[in-house]
Chains A and B, each alone.
Chain A
Amino acid sequence: MSPPSPSGFEHKVVVGIAELAVSNNPNVTLATYSLGSCLGIAIYDPVVKAGGLLHIMLPDSTVDSVKAAKHPAMFVDSGVPALFRATYQLRAEKHRMIISVAGGAQILDSGGFFNIGSRNYDALIGLLKDHGLRIDAQQVGGMVNRTMSLRLATGEVWLKTSGQSQEVILWKNSTLT
């Protein structure tokens, strides 16, 4: 299934809630656990094999600008630009980026009073559209909790859904295999 491990010490970097991490180390897997209504956003540039993972909690930083300055990765509108900028330091380029998204779970709420999950997703779509970007792979919404990881060696994005024992692949570069 997965390709032979590259030589060196494989390790997992955990991205907490309202955090982001980037890397171009092929031994690294970035992982973020239990997204709930939060969104996990993974970006990857297959040319320079660099990417990052972001775990945002809320759509809009205007609710708390002080918090946004301290924790930009808490909000879609401040976190996504911060994620892209951090990967540019690793020579990644915006228009080569593969974008994968997971999370945004929703309770049964026809009135839409508690729709944080879908508002997170809508905010992301709007922001990406403004920059001429689109999502390559996604699994969002529904009633489930998800865990997501990005393998820097291949750009593969893996997903685990609460209650399921198996991880499934959300994105992989079929031209590389």
Chain B
Amino acid sequence: MEELDTYINKVKTLPPAPRILPELLSLLGQDDTDSSRIVQLISFDPAITACVLRVCNSAYFAGALPADDLQEAITRLGFQQVYQLVAAVSGARLLIPAQKGYGINPGELWQHSVTAAVAAQLIAKSKGEDDSVVFTATLLHDIGKIVLAEALEHIYVKLIEENRSQQAALIETEKRVLGVQHAEIGGHLLARWNFPPSLVNAVWFHHDPGAAKEDRKIAAYVYLGNMIAYFMGFGYGHNAFALRGRADALDILDLKPEAVPDFMIQAFDNLQMVETLVKLNP
């Protein structure tokens, strides 16, 4: 743990915590949520509010009538959808910048994260699960990379070479070379930012969902969403596919391997949604 804190504290340009997201998630988790509290909470951040309304009125979401304020947006799209937009705008702030140490171009990490989140959400929905937590966890699953990117900038070539020669997963090489890996750093950072423990664990174990114990289901959604994004070409970096196949991710969710192509097709059907979120400009 101390080692994780050391790494996080060393980063010169750590982005600000997405403060309203953990609070919104806990509001959404309550049965009798008052929409005025949600509106009040989102309104604390005028930039997010403006961006959410803009997307809400974009070609993809716009109905017959434009939404002039958050209350109207919630009435029209529902809490879940408005929450998803707030999460996406918050995520975009964190993930759009290029991360040099991972060979990531500007926007690539963001595009990957959005595609993975939409895919994971589709799987969660098919199982009737709370897709807000799944969407957020998957959206932020690689947040640890923005912490490690700085440390990696100078030794990234070595990391890639080790990956290739050892046929190792990226997190295994990170652990060996740096002593920490991006999934645990990400989980720890999200815990510091007061995200719920289930989301923290899902991010922490997104490369090994079976190890997430009681949160293994959410971790498995994140794992599969992440993989589907890579399969469909929404990946990045040098050895994009340096991740291990975990058959238990399927078992945990009671899915067969044949479900993967099905969810890829569903994700393809939602690429317009992906594109709308990718283009967010917070």
Contacts and interface: CB of A to CB of B under 8 A. Distances in A.
Contacts of B271: 17
B268 interface: yes
B245 A111 contact: yes
Nearest to B229: A36
B245 A113 contact: yes
Q: Which of B233, B234, B257 has the most CB of A within 10 A?
A: B233
Q: Which of A33, A74, A162 has the most CB of B within 10 A?
A: A162
A38 B241 CA distance: 13
B260 A36 contact: no
Interface string B125-150: 00000000000000000000000000
Contacts of A37: 230-232, 241
Interface residues of A, number: 33
A61 to B, nearest CB: 11
Given A18-B268, A113-B257, A114-B227, A108 B242 contact: yes
A57 B265 CA distance: 9
Nearest to B256: A113
A105 B261 contact: no
Given A143-B163, A143-B241, A162-B103, 8 more contacts: A34-B234, A58-B265, A63-B265, A108-B241, A111-B247, A114-B245, A143-B240, A162-B238
30 contacts: A17-B233, A17-B268, A18-B268, A35-B233, A36-B230, A37-B230, A38-B232, A57-B232, A57-B268, A58-B264, A63-B258, A74-B265, A105-B240, A107-B227, A107-B241, A107-B244, A108-B167, A108-B168, A108-B243, A108-B244, A109-B245, A113-B247, A116-B231, A116-B264, A117-B231, A144-B238, A144-B241, A145-B233, A163-B239, A164-B238
Interface string A161-174: 01110000000000
Nearest to A109: B245
B232 A36 contact: yes
Interface string A60-97: 00011001000000100000000000000000000000
Contacts, number: 109
B169 interface: yes
Q: Which of B227, B235, B257 has the most CB of A within 10 A?
A: B235
Q: Which of A37, A38, A143 has the most CB of B within 10 A?
A: A143
A111 B257 CA distance: 11
B237 interface: yes
A149 interface: no
Interface string B187-227: 00000000000000000000000000000000000000001
B79 interface: no
Interface in A17-74: 17-18, 33-38, 57-58, 63-64, 67, 74
A105 B235 CA distance: 11
A170 B69 CA distance: 54
* Size band of the interface chain B makes with A: 35 or more
Nearest to A35: B233
A142 interface: yes
Contacts of A64: 262, 265
Interface string A108-122: 111111101100000
Interface string B242-257: 1111010010000001
A74 B268 contact: yes
Given A57-B268, A107-B244, A145 B235 contact: yes
A70 B162 CA distance: 43
B207 to A, nearest CB: 11
A106 interface: yes
B236 interface: yes
Contacts of A109: 244-245
Contact of A36 (B168, B235, B243, B262): B235
B160 interface: yes
B31 to A, nearest CB: 38
